[in-house]
């Protein structure tokens, strides 16, 4: 049976009145969820691009779409806490997912459409609507791609999964379909791509720009990698830029890469100088100057691949995947196994997840290929055992990881590894950690934690207290540092003086030491400050060394960072 026939059969089964029928296979918006290209024979094109790298647009409120909250989420209940009659209802695994639907429109998909047999590349070409750029830089990038047919093949095969959804959304918005090719130059359609500037996802959103366009970024997920949400945000952003630059798509793309404020200033400079203000006339960084020519080169190759000695894989004019709403927390490994997918393939379709568990309250849906969606639902109905082995736990106070591990019943090494906590760090109060489920922790993670979870750490060092000391006439910062077993740089930082200062008269200074020893050593420290020469050092010597040994120089700077110190009279060098 051909893939299209299986899709048609799946559609027919979706409306058949069974106990748990597939009510509809729906369109999903878009995205590229690809496995990172592991080949090392060809490197991607130069000039990694980022979105809005300088200035960020205003936030846009969203109450609908793929990131909207999922109502009606119910907690999972432990087997031992329910009567037998209730257990069968709550633990019915078929309740863990909802009917497949379009995350944007909710309209039923028509799978029997004869247009589904058409080649999608033709549909992309007929929707081209941007002016052509013809320059030496375009020729340069055409030659680059034409000389790497294997790279082009891998890139287009990855993108082929998601181009249908991008094109559908572009045509719905009445935007030029060549914008569907933009992820080719942004990330080679790799949703796991991360630039050195921290731009992430196939559309390469910077963190602040992503937040402005409602892309959640927390410990459980990063929606810059979500193939649906990031595409929605990217097209929102591109549409806004196009209005800002009066319909000029070349300037809009430059702003997408460089930031709209930078492009506006470049235009203003040319206007003051009486120069043209089109894309090619502006003074821009090299990355932005190559950006539109690279995009034009990809467009030219898609328009006529034979002219460059290349061939593009045929694309079917129907969605590659469907959206399956999630109603119960579920391990990523369990979901992948039920879908009949390898773990990496499942993550490639759902790359936004940062942890090994899918939170129903924070993940509206998962994406699955047509050929796997029906099997996922059938296997889920037959599943026995827990769906999730992980849950969230919030620290009630600041504590060591060993204490957290004891409270949650985990090995400390496992706790630190799954939450990426370095050694010798404290977990601060209010931090959310991923922990193993137990008979006492069986409820699904609530929405406010799924959307706002964060983890804050602090060095595991003794708390410090400010202690006053006296610098004698003729003392140097270096001498004081040796006397009190700290560094000259620390004394200089704590007192806002130069570490080479020699005091021309007595002066009050401060140092820091552990709180538990501050009271006991105050008299000894004062004695050390009043003493002179060798006798002073001998008087304070052992006691001062014992008190300051705990205040390791490497910890003092971090501990007093942000502490306001009362002004002191400073000596001149």
Q: Which residues are catalytic?
A: 186
Helix (H, G, I), strand (E, B) or coil at 470: strand
Neighbours of 392 (CB within 10 A): 22
Rounded (10°) CA dihedral 395, 401, 407, 413: 130
Could you give the CA distance from residue 258 to residue 58 in angstroms, rounded to a whole number? 16
What lies within 8 Å, CB to CB, of 533 at 6+ separation is none
Query: Could you give phi then psi for residue 98, rounded to 5 degrees?
Result: -110, 180
88 CB-contact burial (10 Å; exposed 0-12 / middle 13-18 / buried 19+): exposed
The Cα–Cα gap between 186 and 424 comes to 39
CA dihedral 103, 105, 108, 113 (to 10 degrees): -100
Question: Cβ distance 352 to 365 under 8 Å?
Answer: no
Torsion of CA 265, 266, 270, 272, to 10 degrees: 20
Is residue 62 helix, strand or coil?
Answer: coil
Contact of 70 with 361, CB cutoff 8 Å: yes
Q: What is d(CA 272, CA 353) in angstroms, rounded to the nearest whole number?
A: 48
What is the SS3 assignment for 395-437?
A: CCCCEEHHHHHHHHCCCHHHHHHHHCCCCCEEECCCCEEEEEC
Please state, in angstroms and rounded to a whole number, the distance separating the CA atoms of residues 11 and 27.
Answer: 13
The beta strand positions in 107-264, using DSSP E, are: none
Number of alpha carbons in the 13 Å side-chain half-sphere of residue 188: 23
Length of the chain: 573
DSSP string computed for 545-562: HHHHHTS-HHHHHHHHTT
């Amino acid at each position: 049976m051909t893939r299209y026939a299986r899709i048609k059969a799946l559609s027919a089964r979706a409306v058949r009145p069974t106990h748990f029928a597939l009510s509809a296979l729906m369109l999903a918006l878009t995205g590229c969820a690809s496995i990172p290209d592991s080949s090392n024979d060809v490197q991607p094109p130069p000039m990694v691009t980022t979105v809005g790298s300088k200035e960020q647009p205003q936030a846009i409120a969203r109450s609908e779409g793929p990131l909207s909250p999922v109502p009606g989420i119910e907690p999972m209940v432990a087997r031992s806490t329910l009567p037998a009659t209730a257990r069968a209802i709550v633990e019915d695994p078929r309740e863990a997912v909802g009917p497949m639907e379009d995350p944007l429109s909710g309209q039923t998909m028509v799978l029997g459409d004869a247009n589904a047999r058409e080649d999608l590349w033709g549909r992309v070409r007929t929707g081209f609507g941007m002016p052509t750029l013809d320059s030496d830089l375009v020729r340069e990038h055409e030659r680059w791609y034409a000389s790497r047919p294997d790279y082009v093949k891998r890139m287009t095969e990855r993108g082929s999964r998601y181009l249908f959804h991008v094109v559908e959304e572009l045509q719905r918005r009445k935007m030029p379909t060549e914008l569907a090719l933009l992820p080719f130059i942004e990330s080679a359609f790799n949703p796991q791509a991360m630039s050195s500037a921290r731009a992430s996802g196939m559309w390469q959103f910077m963190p602040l720009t992503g937040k402005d366009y409602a892309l959640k970024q927390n410990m459980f997920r990063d929606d810059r990698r979500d193939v649906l949400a990031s595409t929605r945000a990217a097209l929102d952003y591109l549409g806004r830029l196009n209005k800002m630059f009066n319909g000029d798509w070349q300037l809009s793309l430059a702003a997408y890469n460089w930031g709209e404020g930078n492009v506006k200033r470049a235009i203003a400079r040319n206007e003051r100088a009486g120069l043209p203000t089109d894309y090619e006339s502006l003074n821009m960084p090299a990355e932005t100057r190559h950006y539109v020519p690279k995009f034009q080169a990809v467009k030219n190759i898609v328009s006529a691949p034979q002219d460059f000695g290349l061939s593009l894989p045929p694309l079917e004019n129907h969605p590659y995947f469907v959206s399956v709403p999630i109603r119960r927390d579920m391990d990523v490994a369990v979901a992948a196994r039920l879908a009949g997918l390898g773990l990496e393939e499942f993550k490639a379709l759902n790359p936004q997840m940062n942890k090994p568990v899918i939170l129903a309250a924070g993940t509206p849906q998962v994406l699955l290929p047509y050929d796997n969606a029906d099997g996922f639902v059938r296997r889920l109905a037959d599943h026995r055992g827990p769906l999730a082995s992980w849950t969230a736990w919030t620290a009630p106070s600041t504590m060591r990881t060993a204490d957290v591990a004891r409270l949650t019943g985990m090995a400390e090494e496992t706790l630190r590894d799954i939450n990426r906590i370095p050694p010798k760090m404290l977990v601060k109060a209010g931090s959310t950690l991923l922990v193993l489920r137990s008979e006492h922790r069986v409820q699904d993670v609530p929405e406010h934690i799924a959307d706002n979870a964060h983890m804050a750490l602090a060095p595991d060092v003794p708390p410090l207290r400010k202690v006053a000391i006296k610098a004698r006439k003729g003392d140097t910062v270096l001498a004081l540092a040796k006397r009190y077993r700290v560094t000259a740089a620390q004394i200089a930082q704590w007192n806002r003086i130069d570490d080479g200062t020699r005091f021309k008269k007595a002066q009050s200074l401060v140092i820091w030491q552990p709180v538990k020893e501050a009271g006991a050593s105050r008299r000894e420290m004062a004695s050390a400050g009043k003493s002179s020469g060798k006798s002073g050092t001998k008087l304070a010597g052992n006691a001062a060394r014992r008190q300051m040994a705990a205040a390791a120089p490497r910890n003092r700077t971090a501990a007093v960072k942000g502490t306001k110190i009362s002004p002191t009279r400073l000596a001149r060098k």
